[in-house]
Copies of this chain bind each other. A is one copy, B any other.
Amino acid sequence: MENTVIKGRLSALRKAMGANGVDYYMMPTSDFHNSEYSADFFKVREYFCGFDGSNGTLVVGQDFAGMWTDGRYFIQAENQMKGTGVDLYRMMEPGVPTISEFLEKNMKEGQTLGFDGRVISTSIGEDLEKKLSKIGAALKIDKDLAEEIWTDRPSLPCHDMYVLSDELCGKSFAEKLSDVRKKMEEYGTKVFLLSKLDDIMWLTNLRGNDVECNPVALSYAYITMDEFILFVQEKEVTAEVKAYCDKVGITLKDYHEITAFLEGISFSGDMLYDKRNTNFLIFKTMLGRAKESKVELKNEKNPTELMKAIKNDTEIKNIREVYLKDSAKLTEFIYWVKKNVGKVPMTEYTAAMKLDGMRAEIPGFIELSFPTISAYNANAAMAHYEAAEDNAAEVKAEGMLLVDSGATYEGGTTDVTRTIVVGEISEEIKKHYTATVAGMLQLAACKFLHGCTGRNVDIYARQPLWDIDIDYNHGTGHGIGYMLNVHEGPHNLRWRYAQGVDEALLEPGMIVSDEPGVYIEGSHGIRIENIVEVVKRGENSYGQFLGFEHLTYVPIDLDAIDTKYMKPENVELLNAYHKAVYERLLPLIQDEDIRAWLKDVTREI
Q: Which A374-400 residues sit within 8 Å CB-CB of chain B?
A: none
* Inter-subunit contact B466/A459 (CB<8 Å): no
Cα–Cα distance between A568 and B567 once the two chains are bound (Å): 9
Which chain B residue has the least Cβ–Cβ distance from A496?
B451
Cα–Cα distance between A495 and B452 once the two chains are bound (Å): 7
Of A458, A459, A473, chain B has the most CB atoms within 10 Å of the CB of A459
List B contacts of A456 (CB < 8 A): 455-456, 458-459, 495, 497
Which chain B residue has the least Cβ–Cβ distance from A463?
B446
List B contacts of A228 (CB < 8 A): none
Cα–Cα distance between A540 and B455 once the two chains are bound (Å): 23
List B contacts of A458 (CB < 8 A): 456
Cα–Cα distance between A411 and B29 once the two chains are bound (Å): 58
* Inter-subunit contact A471/B543 (CB<8 Å): yes
List B contacts of A466 (CB < 8 A): 447-449, 545
Cα–Cα distance between A459 and B453 once the two chains are bound (Å): 11
* Inter-subunit contact B452/A448 (CB<8 Å): no
Binds B, one of A145-153, A190-198, A498-506, A579-587: A498-506
List B contacts of A470 (CB < 8 A): 542
* Inter-subunit contact A502/B499 (CB<8 Å): yes
Cα–Cα distance between A579 and B458 once the two chains are bound (Å): 32
Nearest-neighbour CB distance to chain B for A74, whole angstroms, equals 17
Given A466-B449, A469-B540, A471-B542, the answer on whether A497 and B455 have CB atoms closer than 8 Å is yes
Interface size class of A (residues with CB under 8 A): 35 or more
List B contacts of A545 (CB < 8 A): 466, 469
Residue among B448, B467, B496, B505 making CB contact with A447, cutoff 8 Å: B467
List B contacts of A538 (CB < 8 A): 469
Over the window 455-487 of chain A, the binary record of Cβ atoms lying under 8 Å from chain B Cβ atoms (1 yes, 0 no) is 111111001001101110100000000000000
List B contacts of A449 (CB < 8 A): 466, 471, 495
Q: Is A175 close to B, CB under 8 A?
A: no
Cα–Cα distance between A463 and B447 once the two chains are bound (Å): 7
Given A469-B540, A542-B470, the answer on whether A448 and B459 have CB atoms closer than 8 Å is yes
Over the window 509-529 of chain A, the binary record of Cβ atoms lying under 8 Å from chain B Cβ atoms (1 yes, 0 no) is 000000000000000000000
Nearest-neighbour CB distance to chain B for A446, whole angstroms, equals 7
Q: Is A569 close to B, CB under 8 A?
A: yes
* Inter-subunit contact A457/B459 (CB<8 Å): yes
Over the window 569-580 of chain A, the binary record of Cβ atoms lying under 8 Å from chain B Cβ atoms (1 yes, 0 no) is 100000000000
Residue among B451, B463, B499, B500 making CB contact with A497, cutoff 8 Å: B451
Cα–Cα distance between A568 and B502 once the two chains are bound (Å): 37
Cα–Cα distance between A438 and B568 once the two chains are bound (Å): 16
Of A453, A471, A545, chain B has the most CB atoms within 10 Å of the CB of A471
Cα–Cα distance between A492 and B406 once the two chains are bound (Å): 41
Nearest-neighbour CB distance to chain B for A276, whole angstroms, equals 16
Nearest-neighbour CB distance to chain B for A541, whole angstroms, equals 9
Cα–Cα distance between A296 and B540 once the two chains are bound (Å): 50
Nearest-neighbour CB distance to chain B for A572, whole angstroms, equals 11
List B contacts of A447 (CB < 8 A): 463, 466-467
* Inter-subunit contact A451/B569 (CB<8 Å): no
Of A448, A466, A496, A567, chain B has the most CB atoms within 10 Å of the CB of A466
List B contacts of A469 (CB < 8 A): 538, 540, 542, 545
Other than the given A449-B466, A469-B542, A469-B545, 16 more pairs (CB < 8 A) read A446-B463, A448-B459, A448-B466, A449-B471, A451-B496, A452-B495, A455-B456, A455-B497, A456-B456, A456-B459, A456-B495, A457-B459, A459-B460, A497-B505, A567-B568, A567-B569
Return 17 A-B CB contacts under 8 Å, by A number: A448-B459, A449-B466, A449-B471, A449-B495, A451-B495, A452-B495, A452-B497, A459-B460, A466-B545, A469-B545, A473-B542, A497-B503, A497-B505, A499-B502, A567-B567, A567-B568, A567-B569
Q: Which 10 A-B pairs have the closest CB atoms?
A: A471-B542, A453-B497, A497-B503, A447-B466, A451-B496, A456-B459, A456-B495, A447-B467, A455-B455, A469-B540
